[in-house]
Amino acid sequence: MSARQKRERQVWMLVGSSVIVFTVLTMLFSSAPFGQRMLSILFAALSVGGPSMFFLWRRRHWKGERGQSAVLLGRIASGDLAFYAEDIRQTGMTPEIVAATRALVVNLERTVSRFSQLSSDVRAASEQLIGQARSLSRATSGQASAAEATSGSLREIDDSVQNMRQSMDALSSNAEETSTAATQMLASIQEASG
């Protein structure tokens, strides 16, 4: 048995015991005729039982409306915004809550629309960045190839300079030997003529 059912049972027991106590007290201490006593007992039972029964009935009816409200709010929370004003009115909510619920739904629709637009914008920007990154990658690989070719050319120039230096050294050596040989030959010619 739930707590709500226990409270409901306690209310009925309180109403019943109040009517019984009032009946006993009216029968014992009243000097009115029996018909008037019965009428006062009936009036007391209706006075206590009527509002209690109305309260319990209204409470159950209100809980049903709250259940519909909970279902509607559950739909909103799950992202289902496709319902109409009539669905909101059928929940039995107060006009203020109905207006607030409608405003909530409108704001949620607007927010979802904005997020959708932002998502599209982010996707477009991402695609643009990816394209630029690919272009940059191609340009970088082209520059790397050019740098590699330049490095190869510089190595060839260095090798040519080294070969030229070796040739110059060899030429210088040959010139010295030729100069020495010419000097010796000149000295030999002077000795022979002299």
If one compares 88 and 104, the residue with the highest pLDDT of the two is 104
Q: Is the pLDDT of residue 146 over 60?
A: yes
**For 76-83, what is the mean pLDDT?**
70
User: DSSP assignment, residue 75?
Assistant: H
Per residue in 93-143, pLDDT (tens digit) is: 677 777 777 787 788 888 888 988 988 989 999 999 999 988 888 888 888
Q: Is the pLDDT of residue 41 over 60?
A: yes
- Residue 102 makes CB contacts below 8 A (sequence gap 6+) with 85, 88
CB atoms within 10 A of CB 72: 19
Ramachandran sector of residue 33 (left: φ over 0; alpha: ψ -120 to 50; beta: rest): beta
Half-sphere exposure of 142 (CA within 13 A, CB side): 6
Give CA angle at 140 (135, 142), nearest 5°: 95
The per-residue pLDDT for 87 is 66
**Rounded distance, CA 178 to CA 182, Å?**
6
Q: Is the pLDDT of residue 61 over 80?
A: no
Domain ranges of the chain: 3-93, 94-169
The per-residue pLDDT for 128 is 92
**For 64-91, what is the mean pLDDT?**
66
In this structure, which amino acid lies at residue 108? L
